[in-house]
Amino acid sequence: MEQHGFKSFESLHKKSVSDLNWFWTSALDDMGLEWFCPFSKVFDDSEGFPTTRWFLDGKINITHNCLDRHIRDGHGNDVALIYEPDSGCHDSNQITYNQLKSLVDRCAASLNQTSLKKGDAVGLYAPMSVETVAVMFACFQLGLRFAPIFCGFGEHAVVDRLESCEAKILFANENLQRRGKSINTGATALEASKKLPLLEHIIHLDTDQWEQFLNKGTGTAPTIETEAEDPCMIIYTSGTTGKPKGTVHTHAGVLAQVGKELRYSFDIKPNEPFFWVTDIGWMMGPWELIGCLLFRTPVVLLDGAPNHPHPDRLWEIIEKNRVVTLGISPTAIRLFMNQTEGKGVDGYDFSHLRIMGSTGEAWDEASYRWAFEKIGKKRVPIMNISGGTEIMGCHLQPYPVLPLKPMTLGKGALGMDVHVFNDEGNPIHEEVGHLVCCRPAPSMTKSFLNDHDRYLTTYFEKFGDQVWYHGDWASIDQDGFWFLHGRTDDTVKVAGKRVGPAEVESALILHQQVSQAAVIGIPDDLKGQTIVCFVVAEEEVTEEELQNFVAEKMGKPLKPKAVFKIVELPKTRSGKIVRGTIQRAFLGEPLGDLSSVENPNTLSTIAEFSKS
């Protein structure tokens, strides 16, 4: 803002969306991205918003920007990664840029000895580890498409994804260490490979096979000059119906969007450790690794659970590594809010913490304030961001230099022309409506892999081909702050009153004896729909008490028809409540693909509830 003479964030944001040529040229220059060949034009949307091309004629590579240039500039001995393994493995260790680049080069040289050619896909079915990071950057280095798969998925989910992207090589773990137990993921990979005729090799990263593979490389495998629009990644969305959607992302698009977000929203700096509790199989894994290493910010890799082998593991990691930026979900916060063992959050020194982050699900105010007060000590701002796998980044994000309200997502992300539309497609304020984006961004996928019609239907059918419809309920308050209210396909309409499940869930969680909640709508002859709730709650609280509690907080018309207590809620591997699947289970409908559901056994309990 100082550099370009802007007096307010609002004026900067307005310019960033009205003049995309100016904004992206200025932002990329400010980020210090290095191009092998500069772009001649920022973007070309002459064939339509859905297939906008970016940074025409430019040549760039993620690995060059995240590793090679730092070593060239004398930072090879700086710490790139801090690996925190699952219990029972070995102590944490620090990996420098020189060490990581050596692994990347060896991996790339060995990949060159296979049948792979530029543009081919390489699958990864492994946890957050140094080897995982090396494989990812080796793929980028050679112009291959990196296709990460969450290491907790079963055979069916692995087959779906590797078959879709036609992967020729799969890097996997023979065994996954979780909470002191060994899970034979190698057997899952082997069974999957029998259904994948194009898959030529499986290399296990946690056995001698990894070192044997690295030793096959001969000569060097220099970082190639990829075109700006060359694909670098295929990341699958975690939807729970139908086939998983493969979103395709490019070298320049990812660097531009991720770099912008981590530089401006998180103010990351060299040598200030960054720790986001996530997995390589979700967008946030590659997002943090690419964005942080772009700016020489060390990344803490957590392999395993944040509360095992002891309840204080998360707090211990933050203190030990003097973490400056912490990313954590509301679900994890609610887990730690109820912690009764160990020293707890108050027993550790977080004076080095400067920024917190969150994404993926709606906050409730009690959890948000607990994180702000207990972890951040009322001085650390929470960058609550929201976007999606399909844009490899955010539509909405706050900034540390701006005021915040509890649970807000700030005032819109730079370069993102976001609005709230009503059903007729008109912009609205101080009402809940549809989150839309009216101009393209560099990181937006231009299709779903092998399914372009589904892509167009998903994002451009509702409001036309010039408006990206994201499928979230959102609102902008009188002060211009954004808030999210859940997915549009989850909305409940009771006697003409539309309410987001997240709002009712937030009300339930205000009850001292409720730790988690999921809300669905079911058909009702009188009201059209009525509310049914599922809660993780203490034994002594009654369902009738919780029904009345919601009525008190939300109004009598929104009193739930039923509240059921359950041991755990069905969620995706990334911690999102699968409301649609819960609804189908309760109504006795086909459940669809459950590959992304971490605990599908809970759905049979929900089906039994419906009989009562």
pLDDT at 505 over 90: no
- Reported as a single tens digit per residue, the pLDDT across 272-290 is 999 999 889 889 999 999 9
- Determine contact, residues 221/109, Cβ cutoff 8 Å: yes
pLDDT in tens, 7-44: 999 999 999 999 999 999 999 999 999 999 999 999 99
Express each pLDDT in 423-458 by its tens digit.
Answer: 999 999 999 899 999 999 999 999 999 999 999 999
Question: pLDDT (tens digit, 9 = 90+) per residue, 299-355?
Answer: 999 988 888 888 899 999 999 999 999 999 887 888 888 777 889 899 999 999 999
Q: State the pTM of this model.
A: 0.86
Q: What integer is the mean pLDDT of 503-527?
A: 86
| Extended beta strands in 71-126, E state | 79-84, 93-96, 121-125
Q: Is the pLDDT of residue 495 over 70?
A: no
Instruction: Tell the burial category of 611 from Cβ atoms under 10 Å away from its Cβ (0-12, 13-18, 19+).
Output: exposed
Give residue 271's pLDDT: 96
Structure tokens at 555: 């109004």
CA dist 420 and 402 (Å) reads: 21
Q: Tell me, what amino acid is at 89? A: C
pLDDT for the residue numbered 496: 60
DSSP string, 473-489: EEEE-TTS-EEEEEEGG
- Report residue 515 as tokens: 């730790």
Could you report the per-residue pLDDT of 47-83, keeping only the tens digit for each?
A: 999 999 999 999 999 999 999 999 999 999 999 999 9
Contact by Cβ (8 Å): 375, 350: yes
Closest CA to 472 of 492, 456, 486, 493: 486
Span 211-225, average pLDDT: 93
pLDDT of residue 241: 43
SS3 assignment, position 188: helix
Least confident of 46-55, 127-136, 155-164, 210-219: 155-164
Residue bearing the bigger pLDDT, 539 or 475:
475
Could you count the other beta carbons within 10 Å of the beta carbon of residue 48?
Answer: 12
One-letter amino acid for residue 64 of the chain: H
The string of pLDDT tens digits covering residues 364-422 is: 888 899 999 999 999 999 999 999 899 999 999 999 999 999 999 998 899 999 999 99
Confidence of residue 240 (pLDDT cuts 50, 70, 90): very low
The confidence band for 527, taking pLDDT boundaries of 50, 70 and 90, is confident
pLDDT at residue 153, rounded to an integer: 76
Alpha helices in 117-184 (DSSP H): 130-142, 155-165
Q: What is the pLDDT of residue 88?
A: 44
Q: Where does the pLDDT of residue 151 fall: very low under 50, low under 70, confident under 90, or very high at 90 and above?
A: confident
CA torsion angle for 314, 315, 320, 324 (degrees, to 10)?
A: 90
Cα separation, 503 vs 509, whole angstroms: 10
DSSP-assigned letters across all residues of 539-598? TTS-HHHHHHHHHHHH-GGG--SEEEE-SS--BBTTS-B-HHHHHHHHHT------TTBS
Strands 468-476 and 482-487: antiparallel
| Confidence grade of residue 611 (pLDDT, cut at 50, 70, 90) | confident
What average pLDDT does the chain have? 91
Q: Is the pLDDT of residue 247 over 90?
A: yes
Tell me what pLDDT residue 219 has. Answer: 83
Residue 610 CB-density burial (10 A; 0-12 exposed, 13-18 middle, 19+ buried): middle
Q: What does the pLDDT read at residue 486?
A: 75
Domains of the chain: 9-305+385-473 (3.40.50.12780), 491-610 (3.30.300.30)
> Residue 221: pLDDT above 50?
yes
